[in-house]
């Protein structure tokens, strides 16, 4: 099966009332973990690459790994999505490479750190929507900013400083015609999101519910949605790591989001934790080993386990066979004839 558009997967998810995990990739092992988890759980899947990932793996390596994934897992509807595109040029380069979905994160300026004006956000998002839709490619946009700068994207702070304003979100979707909307509800990227199990004071599910009321047909996206499980923190610390105790977004809150219009859930940190814990364990227990396969294999297994668990929890498990891929040229025609609505 060729790569499919994210819009198609999210429309299907809305019909079925489930969410789709978007998992970050930087290398072959991570792509293999995601595709194996998708096969095991029969899930459609979104594979996403950040700007950092594209430069780490180099575009051509990344692209051919994704082509291999579609050849080796033909039964899995797979999206290749650009995570946090910082400018129209970055998004256009991903579209040219063959990505079937891009995020234009115009909530921040091109540096990925400075909150932008509403006007800037609308301008760059509209530019990307025009270029992307002409090729059938999906566009995710963002209004409001996540906290933290731990991994390079975010306005800093706790995540409470730039929450999405529901009325502005409603206007933004009208102004841009984006396919999916990332919102800020108090989460941050990385491991250090909350200093205690989050409640309504710090994780604003009420804001999400209000946005969904105003935009009932818009596909909402939750970034910074790793759950940062204590078990994964403990494995790292047990084998010589030094993580401070921290809390992520509980899976039951994500499930509440899915009941209220969330269709795409971004998870990267949980996989990073799983990989690091597995590698540390091998190094600690068998320090005489030096073949990378001895630690990359368990790392790959550990990530696959996390991804498969999330696929079941988000409800995408078992849904792969329901999706009949719409060719990208047909998606482009549908946008042209305005058969795809915001």
Rounded Cα gap, residues 180 and 340, in angstroms: 12
Phi, psi angle pair for 266, to nearest 5°: -90, 125
| Pairing state between β 45-49 and 78-85 | parallel
State the minimum distance, in angstroms, from the CB of residue 253 to ligand 13P: 13
Q: Which of residues 167-196 bind ligand G3H (CB under 6 A)?
A: 189
Q: By CB under 6 A, name the one of 147, 224, 229, 277 that touches ligand 13P.
A: 224
157: region left, alpha or beta (phi > 0 left; psi from -120 to 50 alpha): left
Q: By CB under 6 A, name the one of 33, 101, 121, 226 that touches ligand 13P.
A: 226
DSSP state of 282: H
| C-beta closer to ligand G3H: residue 85 or 261 | 85
Taking alpha carbons only, the member of 248, 233, 121, 99 closest to residue 181 is 121
Rg (CA), the chain: 19
Asked whether position 223 contacts Zn ion by CB under 5 A, the answer is yes
Q: Which stretch binds ligand 13P (CB under 6 A): 116-124, 171-179, 260-268, 274-282?
A: 260-268
Q: By CB under 6 A, name the one of 204, 223, 263, 264 that touches ligand 13P.
A: 223
State the minimum distance, in angstroms, from the CB of residue 222 to ligand G3H: 12
Q: Is the Cβ–Cβ distance between 253 and 200 less than 8 Å?
A: no
Taking alpha carbons only, the member of 162, 158, 134 closest to residue 148 is 158
Tell me the two tokens of residue 221. Answer: 């996206």
Does 105 participate in catalysis according to the annotation? no
Catalytic residue among 11, 59, 83, 291: 83
Asked whether position 253 contacts ligand 13P by CB under 6 A, the answer is no
Q: Nearest 10 degrees: CA dihedral of 154, 133, 75, 20?
A: 30
Q: By CB under 6 A, name the one of 7, 18, 22, 24 that touches ligand G3H.
A: 24
Asked whether position 267 contacts ligand 13P by CB under 6 A, the answer is yes
| C-beta closer to ligand 13P: residue 155 or 328 | 155
Q: By CB under 6 A, name the one of 225, 233, 313, 316 that touches ligand 13P.
A: 225
Rounded Cα gap, residues 255 and 169, in angstroms: 22
| C-beta closer to Zn ion: residue 35 or 155 | 155
The site partner of 304 among Zn ion, ligand 13P, ligand G3H, none (C-beta below 5 to 8 Å per kind) is none
Q: How many chain residues bind ligand 13P (CB under 6 A)?
A: 13
Phi, psi angle pair for 45, to nearest 5°: -150, 150
Q: Residue for token digits 């205690």?
A: 196
Tell me the two tokens of residue 52. Answer: 């950092």
x-or-dash string of contact with ligand 13P, 77-116, rule CB under 6 A: ------xx--------------------------------
Q: Which of residues 30-69 bind ligand 13P (CB under 6 A)?
A: none
| C-beta closer to ligand 13P: residue 54 or 189 | 189
Angle (CA) 171-261-173 rounded to 5° is 15
| C-beta closer to ligand G3H: residue 84 or 304 | 84
Tell me the two tokens of residue 169. Answer: 């979100």
Asked whether position 84 contacts ligand G3H by CB under 6 A, the answer is yes
Tell me the two tokens of residue 288. Answer: 């005489």
Asked whether position 162 contacts Zn ion by CB under 5 A, the answer is no
Taking alpha carbons only, the member of 125, 202, 101 closest to residue 161 is 202
Q: By CB under 6 A, name the one of 233, 268, 274, 316 that touches ligand 13P.
A: 268
**Which residues form the catalytic set?**
83
Positions touching ligand G3H (CB under 6 A) are 24, 50, 52-53, 83-84, 151-153, 189, 268
């Amino acid at each position: 099966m060729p790569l499919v558009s994210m819009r198609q997967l999210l429309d299907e998810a809305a019909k079925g009332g489930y969410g789709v995990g978007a998992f970050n990739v930087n290398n072959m092992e991570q792509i293999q973990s995601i595709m194996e988890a998708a096969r095991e759980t029969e899930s459609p899947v979104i594979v996403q690459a950040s700007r950092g990932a594209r430069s780490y793996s180099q575009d051509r390596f990344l692209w051919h790994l994704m082509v291999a994934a579609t050849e080796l897992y033909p039964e899995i509807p797979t999206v290749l999505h650009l995570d946090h595109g910082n400018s129209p040029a970055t998004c256009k380069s991903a579209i040219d490479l063959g990505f079937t979905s891009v995020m234009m994160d115009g909530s921040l300026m091109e540096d990925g750190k400075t909150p932008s004006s509403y006007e800037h956000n609308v301008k760059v998002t509209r530019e990307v929507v025009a270029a992307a839709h002409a090729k059938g490619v999906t566009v995710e946009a963002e209004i409001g900013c996540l906290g933290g700068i731990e991994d390079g994207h975010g306005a800093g702070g706790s995540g409470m400083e730039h929450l999405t304003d529901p009325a502005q979100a409603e206007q933004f979707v009208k102004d841009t015609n984006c396919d999916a909307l990332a919102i800020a509800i108090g989460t941050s990227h990385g491991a250090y999101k909350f200093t205690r199990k989050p409640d309504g004071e710090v994780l604003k599910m009420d804001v999400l519910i209000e946005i969904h009321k105003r935009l009932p047909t818009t596909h909402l996206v939750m970034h910074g949605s790793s759950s940062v499980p204590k078990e994964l923190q403990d494995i790292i610390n047990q084998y010589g790591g030094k993580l401070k105790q921290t809390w992520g977004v509980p899976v039951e809150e994500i499930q509440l989001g899915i009941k209220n219009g969330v269709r795409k859930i971004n998870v990267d940190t949980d996989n990073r934790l799983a990989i690091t814990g597995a590698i540390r364990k091998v190094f600690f227990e068998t320090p005489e080993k030096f073949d990378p396969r001895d630690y990359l294999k368990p790392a790959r297994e550990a990530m696959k386990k996390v991804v498969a668990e999330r696929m079941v929890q988000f409800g995408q498990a078992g849904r792969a066979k329901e999706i009949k891929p719409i060719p990208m040229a047909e998606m482009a025609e549908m946008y042209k004839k305005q058969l795809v609505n915001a």
